[in-house]
Structure 1
Amino acid sequence: MIDFHYETDFSIDNESKFADWVSRIVLSEDKAYSQLDFIFCDDEYLLKINQDYLDHDTYTDIITFPYEDMNGIAGDIFISVDRVKENASDFGVEFDLELKRVMAHGVLHLLGFGDKSEEEASQMRLKEDEKIKLFHVEH
């Protein structure tokens, strides 16, 4: 199941289209999922999670918490809508594109992709681009 939760005034239009897309991201890597929860929030909400659970005192666009599940990947993906808006402006891209990039990024983390080294970050960016293209593919 793929669910969307909102801790801010933002909400996704056409959640079913986004859920279908996220499902295809997972399936495109020959994996299965059991439960994926996207929690959209503001900077302060995600900063508190970053401080409380990761002992980081910085703003971030996304935090992913994986959960053990024998039926496939599972986890919570927290996304700061404030950071996504700012990143979109900084990178000169539309908000919707940056939102898809961040959402794909979280799913890719749950699928086992990292981004700590330069090589991993480069591979992650290629995978993000590949998965964003799946959004317009009809299932």
Structure 2
Amino acid sequence: MLQFFSETRFKLQEQEIHQDWLFACADKFNREISDLNYIFCSDNYLLKINQQHLNHNYYTDIISFDYSDEHSVSGDIFISVDRVADNAFEYNEFFDVELARVMAHGLLHLVGFKDKTEEEANEMRLMENECLALLYAFD
């Protein structure tokens, strides 16, 4: 099951397309989505989660809680729509494209990709781009 929730006024448009896309992304890595929740929230909402659960005192665009096993993808992905909007502006990108990139980023963490080192971050960016290409196939 794949669900979208919002702790703000934001509502993800074209949810069916995004569901199909995210299932296709997981399938690309031979994984199935079993129980995945995307929770769209504000900077302050995500900051509190960052402080309480990770002992970090800074804003971030995404936090993923991974409950996956080797075959299925399961977890909660919190996304700050405020941070996504700021990043889209900073990188001169459309909001929807930046949001999709962050959504893919969270899923990629749950299938096992990391981004702590420069090499891992480069691979993550390549995989994000591959996932974005899949999304454009659904549009």
- Whether the TM-score (by the shorter chain) exceeds 0.5 is yes
Q: Which residue of 2 aligns with 1:29?
A: 29
Give secondary structure in 1 for the equivalent of 2:112.
Answer: coil
Checking the alignment, whether the CA contact within 8 Å between 2:114 and 2:120 is kept in structure 1 is yes
Question: Does 1:133 find its partner at 2:127?
Answer: no
Give the residue type in structure 2 aligned to 1:30: N
TM-score (ref. length: structure 1): 0.96
Give the residue type in structure 2 aligned to 1:8: T
- Deviations 1:92-137, CA, capped at 9 Å, x for gaps: 0000000000000000000000000000000000100110010122
Question: After superposition, where does 1:1-139 map in structure 2 within 5 Å?
Answer: 1-69=1-69, 72-138=72-138
TM-score (ref. length: structure 2): 0.96
- Deviations 1:43-102, CA, capped at 9 Å, x for gaps: 000000000000000000000000145761100000000000000000000000000000
Give secondary structure in 2 for the equivalent of 1:11.
Answer: coil
Extract structure 1 runs of 4+ deviating beyond 3 A: 68-71
Give secondary structure in 2 for the equivalent of 1:136.
Answer: helix
Q: Distance in 1 between matches of 2:70 and 2:113?
A: 19
Q: How many residue pairs were aligned?
A: 138
Q: Distance in 2 between matches of 1:70 and 1:127?
A: 19
Distance 1:71 1:114, change over 3 A: closer
Checking the alignment, whether the CA contact within 8 Å between 1:34 and 1:69 is kept in structure 2 is no
Give secondary structure in 2 for the equivalent of 1:82.
Answer: helix
Any stretches of 5+ residues in structure 1 without a counterpart? none
Q: Distance in 1 between matches of 2:23 and 2:13?
A: 17
Q: Distance in 1 between matches of 2:19 and 2:83?
A: 22
Give the residue type in structure 2 aligned to 1:9: R
Checking the alignment, whether the CA contact within 8 Å between 2:31 and 2:71 is kept in structure 1 is no
Give the residue type in structure 2 aligned to 1:66: D
